[in-house]
Structure 1
């Protein structure tokens, strides 16, 4: 009964209206910013490694990005992509790309506002995110909206994306791949998370900056090798993605077929769930980056969507389509495992288990920080330990909860987070544009001075 009610609420929250609002906000911001996700992407990718990290902040820009990626690169990149293709066919991958393309402008805007309106708490740490730019940017009368975002953020961290769904993904995957008891795995993960999270942002970001690049590179290599070994099938897979995006997909094998609207909805919904553009989570950690230019951190934040969806989700999607398993009866992680098995054989369960475990584990520690900042906004810093204890307790009990209800609840609170955030992004679009112009004017002046200096040096010689 409860599951049915949650599913009905979920279908309302994640109905066409929210998808249109999410993508529409991205389209609007893309137009206002001159499609900087295309024009400025090379600079954004360069900044990941070469940002100057000057200015106020708790961690450098690379660690801020890794912490954000720790939370976004999770089960959605494996299970979510498989689900989207199972429901909507190969064409769903195209709509994931489209959502990510416009989502990059949204993610830029979130990172920009996060730095612009960040505050310092009573312990000297940076505090920022949608709750702060709603209250400080839109004005005090909008504080109820900021409170709503913080409440939904805590619920998402403690009851949804941060704890239960990820722990269930880890314990079930490890049990299937290595035969380890779910209770033993749950205990080990809980202890590791407790050690990391009680160390605060420095501990979380340090862990994320080591695990995230490693897991991304490993998964990239595994999937690229798969696609190279099946190179002859890749052009046909890409063709299926393009044609399926505009025509839907006919029934084939165990695949029930999908109309165009189902294909679009599946791709956009799963894509946004994976990269979290517009949901308001990533700017919470972007605010802590060491920079004095809001737009600079916006560019770095933007690369998170590019890495998560354009690269990682694409590799997963093409692997599934090339293998042909999407027309069978499997779904979710089992489908992805079946895809790897067509080339890697008996190694497939181990590949998937390691990938899924790393992805889910980093999501747990990333979302812990998001929830903690939301908690601090509502209740102050003195009760942070209470939040952390509650987070760990819920994580430890995740294996006893019903998975279907967990996923529905996670979807609902995740979607509700987006509404206050999107209202703020639209209302503060003028601030975003002004900060962007200020940053690029600064770069133009700096480059002109550098060019003149080099010319003088050459002249003296």
Structure 2
């Protein structure tokens, strides 16, 4: 809507550069860092996300082959899972659970050295009600050792590299820059789409909803935020793919004409020299 280009293909060539750098280059390098560091298969201390955490009945031990087999079926929903979500009470003393008969799972792994914290830093003592695998008390923070994923895993991986502990700051700085640029770009894309669908009168309500979404996401569970973003990306991708299929012949002709003009201009420039 705001691009100044004689040919739509030239604008498209510029537009594909950003996802190429983000997806092919940056994501590949990040994946190599995670794999080479080995942290993807190690447990590290972290604050547990409620959406990644579930409490199940029974005491499981990852060192036992039978327990690993049972948990494999549970995590992968193979239809052979026999694990039941725990409902009951957990007794906690000075931040540590003293009752048995359950296992706390986080990020597809058995959590270890679990601590229950209240008010940000004070060890919790008392009873915690669990229903269908989830804690009912919302103001409790759970910290322990487990597998990790997403930005936390990436930060730890970079911390194992050449830059040492300073490497952990690469991810938050990169995320800040990436999030800022993405927020501006996607806001504008949505702005233009709203103008096309509803006219100029729809821009202000759209901007209010967009900014409100950022506010909610700032304190919402990150797993939930990422899940919603994945759904939104799919909803955005499907109509685009459908449009590409419908306009494939026009696109092919446009690209062909663009390269013909490009080659002709290039040849003309050589003759001039």
The equivalent of 1:368 in structure 2 is: 187
Q: 1:400: how far off? A: 4.5
The equivalent of 2:24 in structure 1 is: 310
Structure 1 residues 339 and 438: CA distance shift in structure 2, 3 A: same
The equivalent of 1:416 in structure 2 is: 235
Question: Greater CA deviation, 443-452 or 420-429?
Answer: 443-452
The equivalent of 1:324 in structure 2 is: 38
For structure 2, the 5+ residue unaligned runs are: 43-146
Alignment of 1:293 with 2:7, yes or no, is: yes
The equivalent of 1:338 in structure 2 is: 156
Q: 1:352 aligns with which of 154, 171, 176?
A: 171
In the aligned structure 2, how far is the partner of 1:352 from the partner of 1:404? 17
In the aligned structure 1, how far is the partner of 2:219 from the partner of 2:12? 40
**Mapping 1:140-159, distance limit 5 Å:** none
Q: 1:333: how far off? A: 1.5
Rg larger for:
2
The equivalent of 1:137 in structure 2 is: none
Q: Scaled by the length of structure 1, what TM-score is found?
A: 0.34
Structure 1 residues 446 and 406: CA distance shift in structure 2, 3 A: closer
Number of aligned residue pairs: 168
Alignment of 1:390 with 2:209, yes or no, is: yes
Q: 1:402: how far off? A: 4.2
Structure 1 residues 326 and 431: CA distance shift in structure 2, 3 A: same
Structure 1 residues 420 and 353: CA distance shift in structure 2, 3 A: closer
- Secondary structure at the aligned position of 2:16 is classed as helix
Q: Scaled by the length of structure 2, what TM-score is found?
A: 0.56
Structure 1 residues 336 and 404: CA distance shift in structure 2, 3 A: closer
Q: 1:398: how far off? A: 2.7
Greater helix content = 1
In the aligned structure 2, how far is the partner of 1:385 from the partner of 1:334? 35
Greater strand content = 2
For structure 1, the 5+ residue unaligned runs are: 1-125, 127-287, 455-461
